[in-house]
Structure 1
Amino acid sequence: MKTRIIEHLGQSDILLPSLIAEALAANDRAKLRMSVLQAAAQHARRPGGPAPDLAAEARAAGLDPQGLRGLVLGARSGPGEVVAAPGLDRLKAGLVADGEAMIAPIAAADPAAGAAATARLARVSVDLAAPGPDQIALAAIAHLTAAPHDPDDDTLHRLVMDLHREINRLAAACAEETVAGARAHGLADADRPLVEAFMCGVESTRGLKFDHPGLDTLATRVGERLVLQNDIGTTDAHVLVVAVTRDEVTVTYSDVHRPRAQFFTGLLDGFPVRWSGLEPARAAGLGEGAAFYLVTGRLAGDPAAQAAFLEALGASLVFLIDWNRARKILRTLLGKGDAVRVLERAARMRVGHRAFLELGGAELIAAAVRHAAPTRIGFGERLDDVLGRAAALDFVVGVLAIATETLREGRSLRLANNAVEAELARHLDRSDSQLLAVAVRQAGLAREIAARIAADLAERIAGRPGQGTALTAHARRIEVKADRIAVEARAAARRLNAGETIARLVDTVEEAIDELEQAAFLASLIDRGTDTAVLRELASLCDAVVGAAEAAAIGIDAAADVPEGRRADSDDALAAASRLVELEHDCDATERTLTALVLRGEGPARALIGALELARALERASDRLAAAGHLVRTHVLAHLSA
């Protein structure tokens, strides 16, 4: 291309840099003027609605903010779907002039290409035809600002994007030098450190795009401004232009996806940038093809602050490539907002999403589900519904990191699949551990009731009155709380498709609490005339149940950590299970001793019956806790043999 340029330029090559600079400025003006047209149409349809503030964009483009605002606020709908606004004819003439300015360097380099572009401008300018002074048809605004994919449907917006792309190619071909990877011409000495800072950021993350094209940068000096342009990816409407003056950096960013524009500005939240333009530049009824966002950010600062910002800005661009494609895939796995959160976390971790897409996207996760958890995650089931929201976010971010590491290290897809399966298994184990933590909490509640019964019996042995109805009320409150926890745990177990052992463990400890709540009720009814020897046996039995509840809590807590692979955890869990069996045997023996004592003794029948019923309730609680110990043992051995 450069040879053709030299052949056709003749003496005009001296003027080419200035033509390119003016064309780039005209590009900024044209996009802003189209945004103003859309805002005017929106205001004409809804005069009472808020008007977008385009002052920052106007100043950046060198246009009069007050005049443009007056045009928008003065827009009114007329008969025949026509919009009338003060200064509309000047704006339309400016659009044509901007198009001509953008064509000028192309025509200087290649007259045939310039003639073709001029003919296109004449055709698309038909949309600007005026029904009357300062008027334009609403349908014309919709069409001229659209960027349709159909190549046969040409529009002014499409022409501006095509011209901008050609101008960038022309500028790159005519570049005087390369500065840190950026094609540059007309730079001042003070510009180079700023270009280098921007390119340092670009290069720090460039590798995360892998084989995707994009991130080429052009740096030019335009009057008092250093202008940096980056093509980001391959989408025509996705453009970044940065203008740097002595004391300010202005970022102009266009996008058809508002969430991506918000994502982009969010990545730079560590800098005091004043952003504007996140309102949709599309009037109601104009159709989806006309929607785009022209975002402007302004940062004041000295050269050091500017360089730091430019580096961060350059580093953020790679995360915009294929962003919407990644978001759509992740939305099938997570909630709508959480898909963006994953992309943001991956960007801040310098992981990105391009590798995830290259390795198959959703199929990378689907394969792991089929191999590692076919019975726990159903087809089409969202990960956050199964793993829980926090765990699902962590898992998907982990998958993106695995994909990036796989491509960086040149590993095979099979190794990536294995790593994702292991990551999924780890999160499923963590979900099981969370359910086991519920059982630990239940065991603690069981101990609390047993300890209160033991304290009540100690009071009676000392000849003092027991707690009476207060003991019953306290146990009842704990039992209600435990029931609520168990209901939530069962729901979580169903959602997570947890193993039967864990679900039974939660139920078993809850049954022990039910028995202890009954025991508390019976203890509150113990007759004052009950033999002290009987009370001591009851106290001994209750102490054993307290110990059993403690052993259950210790064993379940250790079992929750077994997936981490520490030998001590499995040893502690198995030891606690054995201790529960021993305590259950002790409770059986104590209950038999107490039964014999009651049947051989004398006293009021109600005292004897009450003591026997209390002993049986405590013994049943110890049975349930021993059963929990067996389940702990089963769970641990299953993990050790896996």
Structure 2
Amino acid sequence: MAWLLAGAERLVYNAMQAVDSEAFRVGDRLDDVLGEAAASAYLLELLRISSMVLRQQQPVSLVADEAHLLLARMLRQRTFEFDLLAEHAAYTHALAEGLCDALENPGDAAQTQAQVLRAKNWERQADHLLMDARQRAERRARWLPVVDFLTKADDVADALEEATFMHSLTLIHPAPGLPAEVRAALCQLAATTLAAIQDQVKAIEIARHASQRADGPDSELFLQTLWRMLRAERQCDELFRQARTAMVKNLRNAPVDLMLANDLAATLENATDNLLRAGYALRQMVLNKTGMSA
């Protein structure tokens, strides 16, 4: 009853129009901007405030003011963009982890095919998140930095999915698979890539909770994690050379295997190049959003 007397859904519409013309456009849904969990929390808090104000016999107009202030505070604290980044990073991490497992423990034909199909599904899910961000950016300019980051991060996912497929080609009957020395070099390259992606996941989570003033430990931890991720690209350049050396030594008389192994390593190295670009995009996005100093 308090909610209805205070204006019901009109409270929300008016607050959306008043707090941030950039965040909300005509026709936007509250949960599209805040996310379902935050929108639900906002409405529950507004119901509580409505009840409290009316029980204390205060002016009903006070509820509208509280609705504006509450929504403004939630918008400052929103992490919906980071939710999308974290979900995409989770798929990329799964792709890298799956490739490492495939390289370390080559399975039979059925297992290999399952790995390829699983990687393709993860890559498509990551693509859908990028498309979602692009649709949001068409309506709200604040999503443009998210699209910039996800475009580069999606190239990492694409490369990992392609590398998984290439690895499956090295196991097609009657191929015996790659020599242990070559596989070890590829495993090291893949493991370093995985470690860099793990740092990306950490950086996104740190940024999600970073303070607006950026003068606490989160700021320093974010930058340390990010720079560690960026340095991995140089490490992978060297590991790529080492892998090619191992290929020449062990696959000189097997031209098809040499070609596949080299393409696999090059695709992995390309993933780290794209990860570097994604890292710089994430850094710029977070610096702009939180005010952290480099």
In structure 2, the partner of 1:437 is 83
Matched, 1:538 2:186: yes
In structure 2, the partner of 1:593 is 242
Matched, 1:634 2:284: yes
Superposed displacement of residue 503, structure 1: 2.4
Supply the distance in 2 between the matched residues of 1:451 and 1:382 (Cα, whole angstroms).
37
Closer, same or farther: CA 557–521 of 1 in aligned 2, 3 Å: same
Supply the distance in 2 between the matched residues of 1:376 and 1:553 (Cα, whole angstroms).
26
In structure 2, the partner of 1:514 is 158
Matched letter for residue 263 of structure 2? E
Q: State TM-score, norm by structure 1.
A: 0.38
Matched letter for residue 376 of structure 1? A
Supply the distance in 2 between the matched residues of 1:545 and 1:510 (Cα, whole angstroms).
15
CA contact (8 A) 1:529 1:604 kept: no
Matched, 1:368 2:19: yes
Superposed displacement of residue 533, structure 1: 2.2
Per-residue deviation, residues 144-178 of structure 1 (Å, max 9, x unmatched): xxxxxxxxxxxxxxxxxxxxxxxxxxxxxxxxxxx
Closer, same or farther: CA 445–391 of 1 in aligned 2, 3 Å: closer
Closer, same or farther: CA 492–378 of 1 in aligned 2, 3 Å: closer
In structure 1, the partner of 2:202 is 554
Per-residue deviation, residues 247-294 of structure 1 (Å, max 9, x unmatched): xxxxxxxxxxxxxxxx4xxxxxxxxxxxxxxxxxxxxxxxxxxxxxxx
Aligned pair partner of 1:473 in 107, 113, 117:
117
Supply the distance in 2 between the matched residues of 1:399 and 1:632 (Cα, whole angstroms).
37
Closer, same or farther: CA 380–537 of 1 in aligned 2, 3 Å: closer
Aligned pair partner of 2:273 in 600, 623, 629:
623
Query: Counterpart of 2:7 in 1: which secondary structure?
Result: helix
CA contact (8 A) 1:386 1:495 kept: no
In structure 2, the partner of 1:568 is 217
Supply the distance in 2 between the matched residues of 1:546 and 1:536 (Cα, whole angstroms).
15
Closer, same or farther: CA 640–328 of 1 in aligned 2, 3 Å: closer
Closer, same or farther: CA 395–563 of 1 in aligned 2, 3 Å: farther
Aligned pair partner of 2:176 in 528, 534, 546:
528
Per-residue deviation, residues 600-626 of structure 1 (Å, max 9, x unmatched): 661211111001110111112222222
In structure 1, the partner of 2:231 is 582
Q: State TM-score, norm by structure 2.
A: 0.76
Matched, 1:500 2:144: yes
- The size of the alignment, in residue pairs, is 279
Supply the distance in 2 between the matched residues of 1:536 and 1:399 (Cα, whole angstroms).
60
Matched, 1:447 2:90: no
Supply the distance in 1 between the matched residues of 2:126 and 2:26 (Cα, whole angstroms).
34
> Identity across aligned pairs (percent)?
25
CA contact (8 A) 1:453 1:542 kept: yes
Matched, 1:377 2:24: yes
Supply the distance in 2 between the matched residues of 1:500 and 1:490 (Cα, whole angstroms).
8
Per-residue deviation, residues 495-532 of structure 1 (Å, max 9, x unmatched): 66543222222333322111111000001112536343
Matched letter for residue 541 of structure 1? L
Supply the distance in 1 between the matched residues of 2:72 and 2:218 (Cα, whole angstroms).
19
In structure 2, the partner of 1:330 is 11
Superposed displacement of residue 400, structure 1: 9.3
Per-residue deviation, residues 410-468 of structure 1 (Å, max 9, x unmatched): xxx9xx97x8776444433444x2231232222222222222222222235xxx86843
Supply the distance in 1 between the matched residues of 2:213 and 2:49 (Cα, whole angstroms).
23
Superposed displacement of residue 474, structure 1: 2.2
1:36-435 aligned at under 5 Å gives the runs 263=1, 319=2, 323=5, 326-327=7-8, 329-330=10-11, 333=13, 362=14, 366-369=17-20, 374-378=21-25, 383=30, 386-388=33-35, 391-392=38-39, 394-395=41-42, 401=49, 423-431=70-78, 433-435=79-81
Supply the distance in 1 between the matched residues of 2:180 and 2:263 (Cα, whole angstroms).
17
Supply the distance in 2 between the matched residues of 1:519 and 1:507 (Cα, whole angstroms).
19
- What is the RMSD computed on CA atoms of the aligned residues? 3.9
Q: Unaligned stretches of 5+ in structure 2?
A: none
Supply the distance in 2 between the matched residues of 1:596 and 1:639 (Cα, whole angstroms).
44
Closer, same or farther: CA 422–573 of 1 in aligned 2, 3 Å: farther
CA contact (8 A) 1:399 1:420 kept: no
Supply the distance in 2 between the matched residues of 1:539 and 1:380 (Cα, whole angstroms).
50
Closer, same or farther: CA 603–330 of 1 in aligned 2, 3 Å: same
Supply the distance in 2 between the matched residues of 1:473 and 1:329 (Cα, whole angstroms).
48
Closer, same or farther: CA 365–512 of 1 in aligned 2, 3 Å: closer
In structure 1, the partner of 2:104 is 458
Closer, same or farther: CA 383–443 of 1 in aligned 2, 3 Å: closer
Query: Counterpart of 2:241 in 1: which secondary structure?
Result: helix
Per-residue deviation, residues 195-240 of structure 1 (Å, max 9, x unmatched): xxxxxxxxxxxxxxxxxxxxxxxxxxxxxxxxxxxxxxxxxxxxxx
Supply the distance in 2 between the matched residues of 1:564 and 1:458 (Cα, whole angstroms).
43
Closer, same or farther: CA 368–468 of 1 in aligned 2, 3 Å: closer
CA contact (8 A) 1:559 1:632 kept: no
Supply the distance in 2 between the matched residues of 1:465 and 1:382 (Cα, whole angstroms).
49
Supply the distance in 2 between the matched residues of 1:390 and 1:616 (Cα, whole angstroms).
42
CA contact (8 A) 2:199 2:228 kept: yes
CA contact (8 A) 1:570 1:636 kept: no
Per-residue deviation, residues 530-557 of structure 1 (Å, max 9, x unmatched): 3432222111101111112211111111
Query: Counterpart of 1:375 in 2: which secondary structure?
Result: coil
Supply the distance in 2 between the matched residues of 1:608 and 1:385 (Cα, whole angstroms).
49
Tell me: higher relative CO, structure 1 or 2? Use CA pairs within 8 A at least 6 residues apart. 2
Supply the distance in 1 between the matched residues of 2:141 and 2:36 (Cα, whole angstroms).
15
Closer, same or farther: CA 470–378 of 1 in aligned 2, 3 Å: closer
Supply the distance in 2 between the matched residues of 1:590 and 1:542 (Cα, whole angstroms).
9
Matched letter for residue 289 of structure 2? H
Bigger-Rg structure (1/2): 1
Matched letter for residue 368 of structure 1? V
